[in-house]
Amino acid sequence: MSAGGFLSGGLFSGGFLRRVGAMVTKEFIQLQRDRVTFATMIMIPLLQLVLFGYAINTTPRNLPTAVLAHENTDATRAIVAALRNTDFFQFTRLATSEQEAEHLIRAGDVLFLVEIPAGFERALRRGEAPALLVAADATDPVASANALGALEGTVRTALRRERFVDAAGTAPFSITQHRRYNPAGTSQLNIVPGLLGTILTMTMLIFTALSVTREVERGTMESLLSMPINPVEIMLGKILPYVLVGIMQGVLILGAGMVLFAVPVEGSLTLLTIVTLLFITANLSVGYTFSTLAQNQLQAVQMSFMFFLPNILLSGFMFPFAGMPVWAQWISQCLPLTHYLRMVRGILLKGAGFTDLAPDIAALAALMLIAMAIAVARFRQTLD
């Protein structure tokens, strides 16, 4: 048969078109029945559009800043007012002592600490060019670089209004910058601790999201239920092996980071182990909930990806947390990875202790308990 005859008599014949049309109709019907897959196809592009368009900002502004003033003068008040009004800084605290200021920056409550030394205004009037001290949390180099560059202009403008700076704009002061915890601005010191949380999130979610659906698809769930074991014991038996796997992954990632990238461990490894166990359990509980909601393994993986995407975009791993709008920061507070990243970076790079990390530990523990309660309730409902 010639090519033209094949096209006219075979490829575009009435029977061919009916068969293809029937397959198209069948696929649409199947897609309509699989609502989770259809919702994923619609929601993922919309979620990416909203997150990248509104929540992600690579030049962050309104960064939390504290001031430690050793004197209350016109120059001090002018600098504080300027920090309140600038777009780069968000004045949040007026520290009363060096111990309080150290706690604020170590706990991650502020990214910048502006210290105005005693005698600053008097030295200005005498033309002695006093130094303004600025400590920056450089664990996230992207968040601090642009703001530090704008600080001198902000202070100069404020002091010009108070006539401490002449009309030519010559700055009769200097700014001494101290990049804390990552003086060289090495990106690996920011990325490697974050990878510890992201890899654990991805693997723990997918492993446990497949656990129940795998048993159902293989037909072994009925055999489990016929044994003298209750649903909670089944769930714990499935989760505990993955806790050990998560610990092994954490040790491997942290060890490789220390050897290959010289990531320091300034804080307590015991505290890091405790918060990592909380984090692993929270993600396992979320994954187990997905496994009880999904009808098959494909749906379980899709649900895990839908949860993983906001975690990686809004937690502060890829983009500065402080640069996101308030509504995005509120959403990120409901994600385990947000709190874990603060804690793991605080322990490894800052030497933060339990007191410094108490709010994030409490938040992560609450998220873990909520996730476990939902997982148990959904598992019981699924079995019933």
CATH of the domain at 150: 3.40.1710.10
For the chain, counts of helices (H) and of strands (E): 16, 5
| Statement to judge: residues 122 and 249 lie in one domain | no
Residue 374 pLDDT? 85
Q: Final residue of a domain: which of 158, 180, 202?
A: 180
Residue 348 pLDDT? 92
State how far the Cα of 39 lies from the Cα of 370, in Å rounded to an integer: 25
| Statement to judge: residues 98 and 201 lie in one domain | no
Q: Final residue of a domain: which of 163, 180, 197?
A: 180
| Statement to judge: residues 97 and 209 lie in one domain | no
Closest residue by Cα to residue 210 from 313, 298, 279: 298
| Statement to judge: residues 363 and 240 lie in one domain | yes
Q: Is residue 166 in some structural domain? A: yes
Domain that holds residue 352: 188-383
Residue 64 pairs in a beta bridge with 90
Q: What does the DSSP assignment read for 350-364?
A: I---HHHHHHHHHHH
| Structure-token pair, residue 334 | 């409901």
| Structural domain total, the chain | 2
| Statement to judge: residues 173 and 67 lie in one domain | yes
| Statement to judge: residues 209 and 154 lie in one domain | no
State how far the Cα of 194 lies from the Cα of 345, in Å rounded to an integer: 8
Write the single-letter amino acid at 153. G
Whether residue 364 contacts residue 336, with contact meaning beta carbons closer than 8 Å, is answered with yes
Whether residue 246 contacts residue 203, with contact meaning beta carbons closer than 8 Å, is answered with yes
State how far the Cα of 322 lies from the Cα of 316, in Å rounded to an integer: 8
Specify the DSSP class assigned to residue 381: H
| Statement to judge: residues 198 and 77 lie in one domain | no
Q: Is residue 284 in some structural domain? A: yes
Closest residue by Cα to residue 187 from 148, 138, 147: 138
Residue 225 pLDDT? 65
First vs last C-alpha separation in the chain? 61
Residue 66 pairs in a beta bridge with 93, 113
| Statement to judge: residues 285 and 225 lie in one domain | yes
Q: What is the pLDDT along the chain (384 residues), one digit of tens a residue?
A: 555 554 555 555 567 777 777 777 877 776 677 666 666 667 767 776 776 666 666 667 778 888 898 888 888 888 888 888 877 788 788 888 888 988 888 888 888 888 888 888 888 888 787 888 888 888 877 777 667 767 777 777 777 766 666 555 566 777 888 888 888 777 888 888 888 999 999 888 888 888 777 777 776 766 766 777 776 777 778 788 888 888 999 999 999 988 988 888 899 999 999 999 999 999 988 988 888 888 778 888 888 888 888 888 888 888 778 778 888 889 899 999 999 999 999 999 998 889 999 999 999 999 989 988 888 787 766 665
In the β-sheet with 89-95, what is the strand arrangement from edge to edge?
89-95, 63-69, 112-116, 131-137, 174-180
State how far the Cα of 48 lies from the Cα of 130, in Å rounded to an integer: 48
